[in-house]
Amino acid sequence: MSSVKLTINKNWSNTEQVNLEAGLLDLITDVDRRSAIIAPRDTSALVNSRKISRLGKLAYQLKYGSSRVPYARRRHYENKKNPQTLGYLDKAADSVSRGDKSKYFRKLS
């Protein structure tokens, strides 16, 4: 699975940094919504296990799986029953990244 690294311009004001953080949260939320559509859905337990966590400044994580859904990682990489759902999280991120990314960061100067 992939990750993206962003850096803050040291000349940006606090408002611009807050806008960048908000844009990043909007972006990860859109990836979350898209991945929920693409993910395998036998019982919906996998889709219901997804969670967005803030790891720090400009760092968010979208994670599937829990103690009730230990197979989430495996379903991402291997699924003979529903092969079209392979890589559901990567496909969602690719789909969102192909769209208009400027909509997330319009408030930046």
pLDDT the model gives residue 102: 86
Helical segments of 4-87, H only: 14-38, 45-48, 72-77
Is residue 96 a contact partner of residue 28, using CB atoms and an 8 Å limit?
no
How many Å apart are CA 88 and CA 35, to the nearest integer? 6
Question: What is residue 8's predicted lDDT score, i.e. its pLDDT?
Answer: 66
- Predicted local distance difference test score (pLDDT) of residue 73: 87
Spatial distance between the Cα atoms of 38 and 90, rounded to a whole number of angstroms: 10
Per-residue pLDDT of 1-58, as tens digits, reads 555 556 666 777 788 888 888 999 999 999 999 999 999 988 899 999 999 999 988 8
Query: pLDDT by residue (tens digit) across 51-105?
Result: 999 998 888 999 999 988 999 888 889 988 889 999 999 999 999 999 988 888 8
Q: Model pTM?
A: 0.83
